[in-house]
Amino acid sequence: MYNNNEWFMSIGLIQVEVLSRVRHPNIVSLIGVCPENYLLVYEYLPSGTLEDRLNCKDDTSPLSWQIRTRIAAEICSAIIFLHSNHPYRIVHGNLRPENVLLDENLVSKLCGFGNSGLIPREGVSPRTSTPCRRIDPIARAYVDPEFVETQELTPASDVYSFGVILLLLLTGGPAMGIVQTVKSALNNGTLDKMLDESAGSWPLEQAKQLIYWALKCCEEIRQRRPDLELITITLERLKQGSCGASSSSSRPISESEPRETPSHFLCPIFQETMRDPRMAADGYTYEYAAIREWLDRGHDTSPMTNLPLINQELTPNLTLRSAIQEWLDYS
């Protein structure tokens, strides 16, 4: 419910404009509008907001790491859907746990579209921006630093906010300063103390991969943030693995690794040691399954540079494969 006509006309009608265009299982459904009483009617979601559940409001039980991983995948899917909308890309503009609702099965749905922007697709670069209408001071921890400087909203603004949400799902918060806090924990080797113990024993590989992508999303320069399709690939694998993780991938984060994997042995997409390294036309080497899935999704650009690929040939990197095998045998 909105307090006055001016507020309803500015915020409420934006939400009507956006939600009348889209249908997605992880976006809240608008049921009706009552302009006389400044009311918007949405579907009822009984489990409250993600913020409430992370804070265990009303003594609700903590969300397990498996559920948090699934929620992250659902939010990511919804954002990709919005950014892929035709003829206008939809930028949410206010992503934060308060604007993620949960149903009786803890399935997440985005709401709070009052700051959303519509960006024409035809003849416009994916990074072209549109002026944002307002910023909620309470949500500043989730706001793209470049938006604060330029006052322009882009799809990359949602990517930044999603990265902060990912870090919250991992640590439980607080949001303010969380990017630098997690970076410091990684540098100091105290990541195990950052993870939210109430979620259960976080598996080592899952935690590392989520943190890697969350921090990439939170890069201050927009052009350095990843395509969310890359994160979807990783999250879907984590969701599948959470039901039957192998002993090597489900070790608690507190267990020490015998040897740290050299960074150039890790797939840039999966962030795991490569078994079948293939070099793409961008000069980067990827795990074959990862880059093959990227291309099969219809992409013709590099996952790392976002520049067009001159071809889709994937050449086996035999030298790197041999080095990885030697390292594995020695380990």
Q: What was the pLDDT predicted at 3?
A: 53
Q: What was the pLDDT predicted at 327?
A: 82
Sign of the dihedral defined by the CA atoms of residues 95, 99, 104, 106, in that order: positive
CA distance 215 to 304: 15
Residue 253 in contact with residue 210, Cβ under 8 Å?
Answer: no
Helices and strands, number each (H, E), in the chain: 12, 11
Q: What was the pLDDT predicted at 124?
A: 46
Which residues is 101 bridged to in the sheet?
49, 109
Interacting residues of 256 by C-beta distance below 8 A, sequence separation 6+: none
Provide the 10 A C-beta neighbour count for residue 154: 26
**CA nearest 70: which of 189, 211, 166, 213?**
166
Which CA distances in Å does 265 have to 35, 65, 310?
58, 27, 25
CA distance 282 to 301: 9
Q: What was the pLDDT predicted at 241?
A: 62
CA distance 305 to 104: 41
Residue 187 in contact with residue 212, Cβ under 8 Å?
Answer: no
- Domains contained in the chain, CATH given: 47-245 (1.10.510.10), 263-331 (3.30.40.10)
**CA nearest 175: which of 225, 213, 139?**
139
The identity of residue 247, as a single letter, is: S
Tens digits of pLDDT across the chain (331 residues): 445 555 555 566 677 777 777 888 999 888 877 767 767 788 889 999 999 999 999 999 999 999 999 999 999 999 999 988 877 888 998 899 999 999 999 999 999 887 788 777 654 443 434 444 455 556 789 999 998 888 888 899 999 999 999 999 999 988 999 999 999 988 888 888 889 999 998 887 778 888 989 999 999 999 999 989 888 888 877 776 665 544 344 444 444 444 577 778 899 888 889 999 999 999 889 999 999 999 999 999 998 888 899 999 999 998 888 888 888 887 6
CA distance 83 to 74: 14
Query: Taking the chain, what is the end-to-end CA distance rounded to the nearest angstrom?
Result: 61
Q: What was the pLDDT predicted at 137?
A: 59
Phi and psi torsions of 86, nearest 5°: -120, 145
Q: What was the pLDDT predicted at 128?
A: 39
